Each structure stands twice: as structure tokens, then as C-alpha cells.
Structure 1
Amino acid sequence: MNVAIVGGTGYGAVELLRFLYNHPHVTVVKIISHSNSGTSFSEVYPHLVNIIDMEMDSFDIDQLAEEVELVFFATPSNVSKNYIPGLIDKGVKCIDLSGDFRLRDGEQYQHYYGEEMAAADYIVKAVYGLSEINKEAIKDALLVANPGCYPTATTLGLIPVLSHNLAEYQHIIIDAKTGTTGAGRSLSQGFHFSEMQENFKAYKLGVHKHIPEIEQVLSDTANEAIQVTFTPHVVPMTRGIMSTIYVDLKEKQSTKELINLYKEFYQDKPFVRIREEGVIPQTKEVYASNFCDIGLYADERTGKLIIVSVIDNLVKGASGQAIQNMNIMNGWDETTGINQLPIYP
């Protein structure tokens, strides 16, 4: 199958290429970059010289529709909503790695993203691409809204306990950390080496655009409105997200009982690994992989469940899950092309 990538110079695009290069069913025939049209991809990413020397193109919807069957949008927010409708009207499948089609509430989108939401006719066509939860809907989707990185780690950690009605829906606290690639490749003073090295900071308290996405997924799970306290932090590492989540249990549960519940919930989900009692996952253990590792601790003294969920923000939090969704959309084994070992150390 021929595919294209729009947004060719960001970290999402180069991660897509890393996996798609050896995917047995896919050929990347176009890389689209408005700012670098006519430039070889290996000029932007020299580590790919003599491997991917494809010249990047500008966006031409008619040409794309003739040459490819699926397009990945690895673009910033408020970009893909202007291009995807025309493609899916022509029958081209699209997977959007930005947030343009994730939210259903236009007021929420306006508040957190600062622009008007995509047209309602296309929002309703979008399937939220949390692969482990929405697999059946993804199979028939023409447009998949790939989840954000923080929401992927957080909701995979929370959905089992909420779906079994074992936790209070109020006072969910999410303390999350990301590596610097979460900010993308664009220059920013706060992410210069001298600003970030040996530093650890919270940011966007109360206004992070992943807040409504997390709340939407959890509310769908619980069938009632859920609000969360979400505090994101950036730490001086390249990749990885650790989401540490605190919920109040409705009744006394042991750590072992909850681990067994999580193992059963994710028993047929190849990329979610539940750790044994007393073992808490680390970001290094999922580095450059599509795994989400979850550790649990039921604090019988306080009645709280502590959930630690780790992913690689560029893989399971972006490009890896996008390819997992592509596999599901096309009826292939969902692990195809992405069932790689984490890099360690």
C-alpha cells in the first residue's frame, strides 16, 4: 500500500519513517513539507543519508489522492483540519497525529486550542484511535484521530479501574512528566540546553490542551462527566512519559487483586504490559518502543490506588500508535512493523 506523510520535518514524521521503512505492507511514496518542498529528506535528517533521500513535496490534494491510499498527518494543531476533509471525500484514509479531530466539543476546542474546531460533519466521522480500547471502530474508520501522548499513558492506566467502577470519579490527580521531544522540534528558549539541563519544571497548569481529551475519554468510560487535576512537567531527557495517577478506591482492594484485574483487562492487548507486584516501570524500559507499561500500588493505609504508566512519547504516544491504527484499519496484525524491542540502556 502506498502512503504519504504530511509534516515531513518533525519528530513525528521521522519516527513514522523509522518504522514504515521495514513495514512489509507499506511503501512511503511522498513526504510533504511546505517549508522544505524540493529539499531531500536526508538534508533535514542526515542520519538517513543513502537510506531515505526522497525529495519532499508541497501539498497537492489531487496528486495525493491518485498516488496513495492513506496519509499520516504529523502536523502541528490547527493544520490538518484544513486538508483532511478533502482527502477523505476522495476516499483516502487519514490518520491525524495532531489534536484537530480528537475533541467533540467545539467550545472546549476553542478554549484549549485557540481556534475554531474542524467542521462538525468531519468530527463525527473521526474515530478516536486509542488502539486498545476502540479497535472495532478503528477497523472501519476512514479518519482516525490519533491520541495525544499524555492521554495515551494516562487513560490506559485509568480505564480498567474506572470501567469496573472501583474508583471514585472525583479527585483524580495526574502527575505527569515528559521528555523534551514532547515540545517538538521548533526552537524555544525554555528548551535550550542551558535552560533545560539539570532542571525540572511544571508547565501549562490548568490550560494544557490534553486536559479535555483525557476528560472526554474517561467520561466516556464512566458514562458520566469526569474532571481531573492534571499537572504536566518536562524533565531533561529526550524521550518518555511517566504518568503517576492517584485515585480513591471505593472499597478495599489489594495490589495483587488489582494487578490481576488489569492483566485480565489487557490480556489480548500485545502492547500493554502489567508489572508484577512490587515492580514499578521506568521510562527507559519502553524507550523507542510501542509498549505501555503499567505498575500498581494499592495503599491500604490511605485507600488510594497509585498507577504508574510509562510510554515513549514519540512511539506509543504518537507514531507507533498511528501505525498500530493503520494496521487495524487494513486488517493486518496490529503488531506488524512495530513489534520491536525497547532500546536499553
Structure 2
Amino acid sequence: MMQKYLRVFNSKQRGQAMTEMLVASAFVVVPLFLIIPTFGKYVDMKHAAVSSARYSAWERTVSFNDATLANQPSNFVERTAFKQTDFNMKSDAQIAAEAQLRIFTGADVAINGTSPILGRSLWAYHDGSPMYTATVKTGEAPPVEVVSNQLTPDKTPLDSASNIINVVADVFAFVSDIFPDSFSSNPSVFDAVTMRGLTKIEIEMSVLESPRYATTIGDNTRPRTPLIELGSDFKMRAKAGVLSQTWSVGGGSHLESQAQGLVFTKLIGDIFNTISIPGIGSGQDIIAAALLTPEFSAKNLVFGQMDNEVLPRDKLSGWKPTDAAYDSANPLCNDKGYCRE
């Protein structure tokens, strides 16, 4: 009797483990295997948002944002050996487009500004539906937004520090630019200080909703729910900023021109040079001839004279007192007769 009872009991238990495994797989294991890779892809999208913000900030440090260079100090192009077209320039829209093409797409996508931004092939749910789209809805900001030429942040009351710096800079620029460039053979003006050098970058990558599933097996009448509830406004966000233009110069000659704008004697020289008589020379030469003082002529006396990076020769590495080649390449005295030692 006991053996018959055990036989009946065991027959009722047969297949129970398989049923439990199927239930556990359907409600625990399978969703777990789907959710873990999805979260990994979300992390990759977040890294992409941060990388695109950093890339955009770095690009602004090596590229001018205005094709006319209107935001640069006076004589920025004239005082260099380059033409305006030789400077590296990229607009905010160009940097934003490049950031998306470089970072939001696969490595096989050409960076030419016309390639479609479809997102990385990794950014897809298990059913093949995309996780990211570059399509911007009405009223929303673009995925990458770069805004340059912003005011430098100032946390002082009523932005007092920025206002004081702006007033001082405007005064220096006005005084040093009293005489127009057309009246001076060597124009100098100090207007290199600006409080508009901040570039702001904001990244907002819209993440599409995950696929929806029926809550009850075999019942398609109930509303479907997503595997991961994200909401309609789930985005990968990142921000960056860079201050790249508070004092900008276009090389040694332009630096000298800007610095001379702060020297009062250079202004005196500009006053003398507003007059020029053919065959005699500048106003400075006329005064020198009238006073019989050749030392005062423009050849012998240069108002606001500056030598860039002038150091005694014994302070320079590799200098030898008997080095004739060095003396030839670095003369002790310039063409005006001014000597460094």
C-alpha cells in the first residue's frame, strides 16, 4: 500500500521543476538578460554625450568663431604674415555638426557635413528598434548646442568686476586710438581685453522608449508596457564651457602693436608722424632739423620702441662669447642703434 501511494505521489510531482524553470525564465531570467545590455548601452550613450561636450569645447580653443575676425583686436590680421583665409575658423553650427558626426555615429561615417546622423549601430534595442534619433521636435533644443562669444561669468554684486574691467579697457582703447590708423605709419591701439570669450556647450540626446510588451501572456487586449519605463523626456545631458578669448594677439608684431598702445611716448610719436612733408620727412624730422638736433630725428629716436623677448645674451642657453654664428643671427644692436647690453 505504501509503495502504491509513493508511486502516485511521485507521478504528481513529475514535471514540476521544468514548470518552475519556465516561470522563472519568463518573468526573471529573460527580462534580466534583456535589461543588463540595455543599461550598458545607456551608459555608452552617456559617455558619448560627455565626449561630444568636451570635443566641442576643445574645438573652440583652436578655431575662431567669426569668419570676419570682427571679435579680434585691431590690426589682428594686418600685423601677421597670414591672410584672413589662413586662420582656422569654424562656426558654432559647424562644431555642433562635427561633434555629432564624430561621436554620435559609427567610425565608418564620413565627416563631411552631409552624412546622416543615425546613431551608433550599438544603440539599438534587442528587437532592432533604435535607441537614439537626431530628429529634433518642435520647440526642443538640438542634440548639440554651441554658443560662443558669451560674457565671462562674474559672481561679484551686479557684475561689478566685469563692468570695471570693461570701462578701463574702453578708456585705454579710446586714448590709444585717438589718431586713426591712416594718420600713423605704425598704428598702435590697445583693445585686446574683452569680457566676451566664454563658449557654452549643452548636449541633450533624446533616448527613445524601449519596446512594449503585453503584461499577460496571450492577452492582447490589455495595454502594453515598456520593458524599462523611461518617460517621454528621458535625455542624456552634458555641459561644458571654455574661456578662450580674454587677451588675444596675432603674433609677435601684433603683440608689440597692442603693448605700444599702452605706452604714452608712442602716442607722442604718432602725433609727430601725423605730419609728413615729401623730401624732408615726418614731423619729428622737421623738428629735429629746426632745432639742429639730429638725435631727435625719426631715425635716431623711436618713440615707444619695444623689442620682443629681449634678454641678455648670457641668459640664453647655448650662448658662447666666441660664437660668431650666434652674433650674426642675433645682433647686439638693432637697425635703430638700440643695443640690448
Calculate the TM-score normalised by the size of structure 1. 0.16
Task: Answer 1 or 2: which has greater strand percent.
Answer: 1
Task: Answer 1 or 2: which has greater helix percent.
Answer: 2
Calculate the TM-score normalised by the size of structure 2. 0.16
Question: Which of the two has higher C-alpha Rg?
Answer: 2
